[in-house]
Amino acid sequence: CTNEIGQLQPCLAYVEGQVTAPSSDCCKGLLSVHTNRPVCLCILMSSSTSVNSSTATLLPSICKVDTDP
């Protein structure tokens, strides 16, 4: 999931609570990862300690990406 981590890098500030809304690049990256390697979303959520899981689970609805939690 190395490439996918790079695609989700723009989301980091949002899921760490540094900004109040995800950027459009974050949403584009989320859509791409969800479409191409959705398992990486689960792996990233379970392996990162700096990610606020509550905020991260809101990301798909904010970005209008239909995911299955």
Q: How far apart are CA 37 and CA 54, in angstroms?
A: 22
Greater model confidence, 28 or 41: 28
Question: What confidence score (pLDDT) does residue 60 get?
Answer: 92
At 57 the pLDDT is 86
The full set of domain ranges for the chain reads 1-63
The reply to whether the predicted model has a pTM over 0.75 is yes
**Contact in structure between 57 and 69 (CB atoms under 8 Å):** yes
pLDDT tier, 40 (very low <50, low <70, confident <90, very high otherwise):
confident
Percent of the chain with pLDDT over 70: 94
Question: pLDDT tens-digit profile of 11-25?
Answer: 989 988 899 999 999
